[in-house]
Structure 1
Amino acid sequence: MTYLVTGATGGLGGYVLEYLKQLVPASDIIALVRNEGKAASLKEQGVQVRVGDYGDSDSLSAAFTGVDRLLLISGAPGNRQAEHAHVVNEAKKAGVSFIAYTSFANASNVDNMLSTDHQFTEQLIERSGMEHTFLRNNWYLENETALLKAALDTGELDSSAGDAAGDATVGWALKREYGEAAARVLSGRQENPSILELSGQPHTYKQLAQALSHASGKPVTSRDLDEDAFVDALEGKGLPEEAAKGTLGIQQLIKAGDLEVTSSDFEQTLGHPLASLEEGLKEVLGL
């Protein structure tokens, strides 16, 4: 049995490989990379390295030869639908028997700037007829690093995700935990449904601020701002305008409730509890 991990030199891909090597022989693992020079350490660990690019069907055709189980780590926004189509089509042609895909929380039931590409890819995989599992990842706690570091400096955790009806929740978890879940699913050592909603315990930004205060030993409160004030605050803390507006876009979908998912899938897939929010903060921030 062979197991191919795309995006193998990326952050999530690195965690997947780390955990996958604990489940299957390293010699059965194939790492798909765009730059072979960045994969020297993988070769030293006994992992096979193949070069391929989501935008180049011919390279994928060669890379997928002899692959049984494949993990498609979602590409970057932009030309993602066409690139994912290349991956799925070439995997099907190569006879890949199973594909796992890192999708988005509640993907088939929300409509936002992130969900469209994931809906497209899920439907493409379903039509391919390949056995599959959609790993509907909620939100990496690491994604909040800029806000968290600023909060430690100012004592205020800014967000724009509150409203009169109450604060929306997010199912934060650590990137390594998502990587471990993907490795377990890819290994095939346990039965998994076609959809896994991988969400941590739902928390609000107010609760995130409280956990940060406990984790750091510093007083931190949450501050809910309107959209313009939120962007201004981020820019005032040194975030470039484009990044600040991108962060606002995420806040908007959080406010809409798109990351409000309650599910036991994550811990059942891991076979152990997730890190608590306070533990996760300590790990992300080195506290």
Structure 2
Amino acid sequence: MTYLVTGATGGYGSYALKVLKELVPVSETYVLARSEEKGQALKDAGYHVRIGTYSDEVSMKEALTGIDRLLFVSMGTDNRQANQKNVVSAAKEAGVSYIAYTSFPDADNSKSGLSGDHRFTEKLIKDSGIAYTFLRNNWYLENEMPIIGAAMASGKFVYAAGEGKTGWALKREYAEVGAKALAGSDFPEVLELSRKPTTYVELAEALEKGTGKKLEVISGSDQVFIDSLMAVGLPENVAEIFLSFQYDIKDGQLDVNSTDFEKALGHDLTPFPEALKELLK
């Protein structure tokens, strides 16, 4: 059996490989890198490195030739539908038998602007006839580091999502499920990977508990939120992207209740105070 992880040099892919090496032989594990240089460290660690990019279907077909099981880590938003279509087409041509794809929470019903590309990719995979598991990852706790960093610097925890709730967890926990799916765990076709949804007020309380730092928790306007991020060095256009995430959360797009996550992990998720301490090391 052969296994390939895309995005292997990124955060999620790196975490997935750490788990995967305990589940399947490194000698049977392949990784996708954009260049020989980017893949050198993984090659030195004993992994087979395949060179390819999502935007180049020919390179993807070559990279996936001889691969049985694929952990398909979704790319950034730029031209995502066309590029990810290349991956699915290449996987089908190469004879890949299984795809675990990192998708978006409640992708079937989500109104988030982030969900459409994932819904599109899920349909491609379904239509390909390849067996699959959709890993509908809720929200990485790491995504909140600009807010958390600003709070630690200023003593003010500012958010603009109202009473909206999110199923946060650590990226490594989502990646652990991805690795287990790739290795052959008997998972269903869809996993809604979400912790019990939590508000920003509860997140701030956990941050106080984890760090011992007293915070002023502020439910601010859009401008107050942007100003708080710009005060710690984020450019305005980046702060506005984070504001768009606040809109999704306020609108309930990440408020997904599911018991899939801990069942798939086989153990509890890291408690918030400990998870936050881990991120702030």
TM-score range, shorter chain: over 0.9
1:82 is matched with which residue?
82
**TM (normalized to structure 1)?**
0.96
2:52 is matched with which residue?
52
Contact 2:33/2:39 (<8 A) preserved: yes
Contact 1:215/1:278 (<8 A) preserved: yes
Distance of 1:119 and 1:13 partners within structure 2: 21
1:171 is matched with which residue?
167
Q: Which one-letter code corresponds to 1:144 in the other structure?
A: E
SS in 1 for 2:132: strand
2:273 is the alignment partner of 1:278: yes
Distance of 2:251 and 2:36 partners within structure 1: 41
| Correspondent of 1:230 among 178, 203, 225 | 225
CA deviation profile, 1:121-160 (whole Å, cap 9, x unmatched): 0111111111000000001111111110111122221111
Give the 5 Å matches for 1:9-88: 9-88=9-88
Distance of 1:61 and 1:171 partners within structure 2: 35
Distance of 1:69 and 1:237 partners within structure 2: 43
Instruction: Report percent identity of matched pairs.
Output: 51
CA deviation profile, 1:90-109 (whole Å, cap 9, x unmatched): 10011100001000111111
1:155 is matched with which residue?
155
1:142 is matched with which residue?
142
2:148 is the alignment partner of 1:186: no
TM-superposed deviation, 1:38: 2.1
Contact 1:81/1:120 (<8 A) preserved: yes
SS in 1 for 2:187: coil
CA deviation profile, 1:79-119 (whole Å, cap 9, x unmatched): 10000000000100111000010001111111122101101
Distance of 2:160 and 2:47 partners within structure 1: 44
Contact 1:5/1:71 (<8 A) preserved: yes
TM-superposed deviation, 1:200: 1.6
Contact 1:210/1:221 (<8 A) preserved: no
Contact 2:160/2:219 (<8 A) preserved: yes
Count of residue pairs brought into register by the alignment? 281
Contact 1:206/1:221 (<8 A) preserved: no
**TM (normalized to structure 2)?**
0.98
Distance of 1:255 and 1:284 partners within structure 2: 24
Q: Which runs of 5+ in 2 are unaligned?
A: none
TM-superposed deviation, 1:221: 3.2
Distance of 1:177 and 1:36 partners within structure 2: 28
1:203 is matched with which residue?
198
Distance of 1:61 and 1:12 partners within structure 2: 23
Q: Which runs of 5+ in 1 are unaligned?
A: none
SS in 2 for 1:74: coil
CA deviation profile, 1:227-284 (whole Å, cap 9, x unmatched): 1222223223321011110000000000000000111111111111110111100000
CA deviation profile, 1:25-59 (whole Å, cap 9, x unmatched): 00100001102212222122221001000000111
| Correspondent of 2:211 among 216, 220, 227 | 216
Deviates more, 1:224-233 or 1:204-213: 224-233
SS in 2 for 1:109: coil
2:234 is the alignment partner of 1:239: yes
